[in-house]
Amino acid sequence: MTESGMKVVSIGGGLGAVQIMRGMQRHTDDLTGIIAVTDTGRSTGIVREFAQIPAPGDIRNALATLAQDDDSLLTRVMQHRISAPGDPQLDGMAFGNLLVAALTQMSGSFVLAIEQISDFLDVRAKIYPVTEENTHICAELVDGAIVEQEFNVRRLDKAAIKRIFVQNPQATAYPPAVDALLDADLITIGPGSLFTTVIACLAFKDVSQAIRDSKAVKVYVCNTTTQPGQTDDYTLSDHVQQVISYLGIGVLDFVVLNSSQPSAELMDLYAREKVDVLLPSSHEFHNILTMNVRPVLADVADTKSGKREMWQKQDTIRHNPELIAETLMDLMGERTAVAQS
C-alpha cells in the first residue's frame, strides 16, 4: 500500500468529516466522504419538504469546502445565503441547497446531482450520501418517548436520547458507500453531532455491518465539546460508548481525543451557551480502555480561531485539518509497522 493509494473513508457531516478529508488530501489521492442526509432544520428542511429529496445541506457544504478553488464564483454561490426578509421560506436559504434540488429534479437522481456539482467544483474526493432514500431519523428517549425527524431529535429541553433509529426500516445505505467501507484502508468516524450526524449514519445497519466487516483501521475522532440537546453532561467515554453500541465491542481500533486546552476566555464563552469543553483525564482514559479500544491523546483542535457566529447553528471547537491528518498518518504508520514485524 503506497501512501498515495491509501483508501480513506470519512463518515459524518459537512463540517467534521470534511475537516478530516481536507487534511488527508495531502496524504492520499483516494478519499471518500459518506455524509449524513437526514437533517430537517433550517433551509435544508424547507428544501426537503418541497423537493422531496434527502437533506442537501451537509452534502453542499462538503462539496464547497473540498472544491479545488474555494474562492471561485460557483463555490461562493453554493454557500451564499439568500437575503429575503419578507419571505421566511427563502430568507437565509443556502443557494446550493436549491441547486441540488433543481439538478435532482432535472436528472431524476439525487446522486447524479451531487456528481454534477462535484464536477463543476472540481472536487477530487468522492462524496456519497449515506442513503439515496428520503427518510428521517427518530430517537427513543430515556423516558420512553419517541421523537421523529432530526430537528426534534436535537431539540432542547427534552429527555436524554437513548437510541437513534431510521424512520423507514426498509431504507438502505447507498451501495457504493458500503463498497467503499469494505474496500477501505482507513475509516474515520466523526467528529460531528453525535446523534444527528455520526449515529445518523451508523444507524443504517448495512453501514455499521460494513464497518465491522472491513479490514480497515477504524478510528473514532471524538468531539471537542458537548452539544446542547444531544450530549448534555456527556463525558468523552460516553461519546465512545454510544458509537460502540452501534458497532459492537472490538470494532474500533482507536479513539482520538483532543488534548489541547483552549483559553479560559474561550471556554467561558462556550459555557454561557451550555457547551462544555471536553478534556481527557486519567479516569476517562481508563474508562475508554475498558471498552477494548485504544484512546490516543493528540493536540488536534483549532483552539486559536475563537468562537464563530453561525447561521441558526451552534458553534463548537473544530479539529485542525493538518493536525488530525498527521495523527491519523502516525496511527497508520504504527499499524503498518506492527503488521510487518
pLDDT, tens only, 149-164: 999 999 999 999 999 9
Are the C-beta atoms of residues 210 and 182 closer than 8 Å to each other? Answer: yes
Phi, psi of 189, rounded to the nearest 5 degrees: -120, 120
**Which of 105, 129, 153 is a domain's end point?**
129
Query: What domain range is 200 assigned to?
Result: 3-38+173-340
pLDDT of residue 76: 96
pLDDT of residue 58: 96
pLDDT of residue 3: 54
- The tally of domains found in the chain comes to 2
Q: Are residues 226 and 259 in the same domain?
A: yes
pLDDT of residue 1: 39
The alpha carbon torsion through 174, 180, 182, 188 (nearest 10 deg) reads -100
Task: List the CATH number of the domain containing 185.
Answer: 3.40.50.10680
Q: How far is CA 251 from CA 130, 133, 245, 260, 293, in A?
A: 20, 27, 10, 27, 8
The ranges of the chain with pLDDT < 50 are: 1-2, 308, 310-312
Q: What global pTM score does this model have?
A: 0.94
